[in-house]
Amino acid sequence: MANIISDETIEYVGILAKLELSGQEKEQAKKDMGRMLDYIDKLGELDTTGVEPMSHVFPVQNVFREDVVTNGDTREQLLSNAPEEKDGMFMVPRTF
């Protein structure tokens, strides 16, 4: 296995992705990610110099909306799925 994923990397990716893995999960994740990256490294066999990265398959461009208001007050609907709400707002742990 060429790609060795360190504890620090798993820790770091966990911070980025907001995932907290148990000790066992972490070991598994290190293995899985290493193997996947080995597999992805296969792409390195291809010479892609001068090839533009392709995000969109079709050259669709300039899709715009006009600046016209379309919303109504749908707060009740919005909050209908909220785990916790108060005063018409979403409640979250204190941020400051």
Partner 1 sequence: MSKQYETVIGLEVHVELATKTKIFCGCSTAFGAGPNTQTCPVCTGMPGSLPVLNKQVLEYAIAVGLATNCDITRYAKFDRKNYFYPDNPQNYQISQLYLPICRNGGVEIETEEGGVKTVGIHEIHMEEDAGKLIHDEWEDCSLVDYNRSGVPLIEIVSEPDMRSAEEVIAYLEKLRLIIQYLGASDCKLQEGSMRADVNLSVREAGASEFGVRTEMKNLNSFKAISRAIAGEMERQIDLIESGEQVVQETRRWDDARGESYAMRSKEDAQDYRYFPDPDLVPVRVSDEMLAEIRARQPEFRNDKMKRYKEEFAIPDYDIEIITQSKHMADLFEEAVALGAEPKKVSNWLMGETLRLMKEKEVEAEDLRFSPEHLVKLIGLTDAKAINSSVAKEVFEVMFEENVDPEQYVEEKGLKTVNDEGALRKAVEEVIAQNPQSVADYRGGKEKAIGFLVGQTMKVMKGKADPGAVNRMLKELL
Partner 2 sequence: MGITDMTAVELAAAIREGKNTAVEATNAILARIEEKDKELNCYVTVDKEGALRQAEQVQEKIEKGELTGPLAGVPLAVKDNLCTQGLLTTCASRILNNFVPTYTAEAVLNLQKAGAVILGKTNMDEFAMGSTTETSAYGVTRNPHNTDHVPGGSSGGSAAAVVAEECFYALGSDTGGSIRQPASYCGVVGMKPTYGTVSRYGLIAYGSSLDQIGPLTKDVRDCAAVLEAIASHDAKDSTSLVREDTDFTSALVEDVKGMRIGIPRDYLGEGLDEEVKAAVLQASRVLEEKGAVVEQFDLSLVEYAIPAYYTIAAAEASSNLERFDGIKYGYRTKEYEGLHNMYKKSRSEGFGEEVKRRIMLGSFVLSSGYYDAYYLKALRVKALIKKAFDEAFARYDMILGPVAPTTAPRLGESLADPIKMYLGDIYTIAVNLAGLPGISVPCGTDSKGLPIGMQLIGDCFQEKKLLRAAYTYERAGKAGNNHE
Site for partner 2, residues 52 to 91, rule: CB under 8 A: 52-58, 60, 63, 65, 74, 77-78, 80-84, 90
Taking CB under 8 A as the criterion, the residue among 12, 27, 31, 39 binding partner 1 is: 12
- Cβ partners under 8 Å of residue 4, min gap 6: 34
Least separation in angstroms between residue 68's CB and partner 1 is 6
- Cβ partners under 8 Å of residue 9, min gap 6: 30, 33
Least separation in angstroms between residue 80's CB and partner 1 is 11
